[in-house]
Amino acid sequence: MRNRADSHTPPPVRGRVAILSVHTSPLEQPGTGDAGGMNVYISETATRMAQRGIPVEIFTRATSSEQPPVAELAPGVLVRHIAAGPFEGLGKNDLPGQLCAFTAGVLRTEAHHEPGWYGVIHSHYWLSGQVGWLARDRWGVPLVHSAHTLARVKNAALAEGDQPEPMVRVIGEDQVVAEADRLVANTDTEVRQLVELCEADPLRTVAIPPGVDLDRFRPASRCEAREALGLRHDAVVLGFVGRIQPLKAPDVLLRAAAEMLRRDPALRERLVVLVVGGPSGSGLTEPTALQELAAHLGITDVVRFLPPQAGPALGRVYRAADVIAVPSHNESFGLVALEAQACGTPVVAADVGGLPVAVADGRSGLLVPGHGAGQWASALAAVALDPARRERLARGAVTHAREFSWERTTDALLATYADATREYRARLRDRLVAGIIEG
């Protein structure tokens, strides 16, 4: 297993970085549909690569006839919308049938330029990895791949009502893992999963944790944040930010809130549960399921549903909360946890996946080893209802979040690109020499 990539400034990448994100665009608002932490990851790292003088082109599937063929995400970062299948109505499970069309669009774009236009390919999620595998062989450049989530891991911890990932994804992930020149994982835990479950080569696998925008997400007035959201200054505010689907388990927060009220009925006068996000994945089949659950639990009066928030509005949500809950059944890292902590808000998170890295248990928040309403009610109350403990965790949250930044992530990615490129070219030279000797 490789050590975490160094954060020093790496050698510049030759040519452009081609980023593949088939099923979701970094231009989309995180928190609904298929847009989430991966979108943030791509946008933040691509922007910082461009700031270092390395042009980036992001390929994603066109989902509307109104989208331009090419859009600028930031100076030096282009988003190319590739026509592949009908614009609307396709879910992730429908996209494997459109990969040939998407690949053709990617290859056609490169064919309009001189060889070497792209110096490295970075694919995100297995669908993109399938495309990257073919483009790598055609362009003669290394393929770096980030899985973000793994089917085998997700299927081992399915939420109630969620559907298992299909075998086509399991096989597709194995193929990409075998072909990629480098595999980028978020944590050492994910590295171990890649090696043990997908037989990844540990010498080609590196852990690079995501970052957080410490300029955008920082401590500020909680009173002002609550005033902006129409909340009482003395309210007890529990928050959830993310896509509304069984995997993210927002229902756990609602059940825990109901249990807190059962234990202390007087709390109802001050309790507010903020749920920020939109339906996604299997949650699209029952878009009002969470509202119905709130009604069933008898807590409709304390729950507020808000659409996905962007920019300063998202920071206000984090700062307004006494605690942010991240009760996911599976989470490769958990950017929401990092953003909330950067704002000075403690996090109570499930002890799964990369969340033990994103949250420092007992220092920046609490980790819960399960999803039972009782244990979650106790953990949330231990933070939200104990001002002294909350303030101590809030200070620790800010300190912990400062250990992460998108600058460090970007530097580590560029170092990995350079490393993969050197090895890829060395292999090409060895093959060429072997061919000359055999000839």
Q: DSSP 3-state assignment of 18? A: strand
> Which amino acid is present at 268?
R
Q: Where are the alpha helices (DSSP H) in 142-249?
A: 151-156, 167-179, 188-198, 222-228
- Whether 39 has a binding-site annotation, put simply, is yes
Say whether 130 counts as a known binding-site residue.
Answer: no
Close Cβ partners of 361 (under 8 Å, ≥ 6 residues apart): 351, 367
Under 8 Å CB-to-CB from 17, ≥6 apart: which residues? Answer: 46, 49, 54, 55, 56, 57, 118, 119, 120, 122, 417
CA dist 58 and 236 (Å) reads 42
Q: Is 49 annotated as a binding residue?
A: no
Is 243 marked as a binding-site residue?
yes
Is 41 known to sit in a ligand binding site?
no
Residue 174 assigned ligand-binding role:
no
Residue identified by tokens 């400034």 is 9
| 393 in Cβ contact with 363 (< 8 Å) | yes
What span, in angstroms and rounded, lies between the C-alpha atoms of 152 and 173?
10
Q: Are 347 and 337 in contact (CB under 8 A)?
A: yes
18 bridge partner residues? 57, 121
34 is annotated as contributing to ligand binding: yes
321 in a labelled binding site: yes
Q: What is the Cβ-side half-sphere exposure of residue 57, based on CA atoms within 13 angstroms?
A: 17
Q: Is 319 annotated as ligand-binding?
A: yes
318 annotated ligand binder: yes
Question: Binding site annotation covers 113?
Answer: no
User: Contact 324/239 with Cβ under 8 angstroms?
Assistant: yes
Residue 86, marked binder: no
Query: CB under 8 Å to 98, separation ≥6 — which residues?
Result: 61, 84, 85, 90
To the question of whether residue 370 is assigned a binding role by annotation, the answer is: no
Cα separation, 425 vs 343, in Å, equals: 44
- The SS3 call for residue 359 is coil
37 is in an annotated binding site: yes
Nearest of 264, 277, 265, 382 to residue 323 by alpha carbon: 382
The C-alpha atoms of residue 207 and residue 287 are separated, in whole angstroms, by 35
The answer to the question of whether 30 is labelled as a binding residue is yes
Please tell me whether residue 430 adopts helix, strand or coil conformation: helix
138 is in an annotated binding site: no
Quote the tokens at residue 135.
């483009």
248 is in an annotated binding site: yes
291 is known to lie in a ligand binding site? no
DSSP, residue by residue, 161-187 = TPPPPPHHHHHHHHHHHHH-SEEEESS
Residue 154 annotated as binding?
no
For 25, 132, 150, 301, 316, the CA distances from 124, given in Å and listed in that order, are 11, 9, 12, 40, 30
Annotated binding site for Mg(2+): 318-319, 321, 345
Annotated binding site: 23, 29-30, 34-39, 92, 125, 149, 169, 243, 248, 309, 318-319, 321, 331, 339, 345
Annotated binding site for 1D-myo-inositol 3-phosphate: 23, 34-39, 92, 125, 149, 169
Annotated binding site for UDP-N-acetyl-alpha-D-glucosamine: 29-30, 37, 243, 248, 309, 331, 339
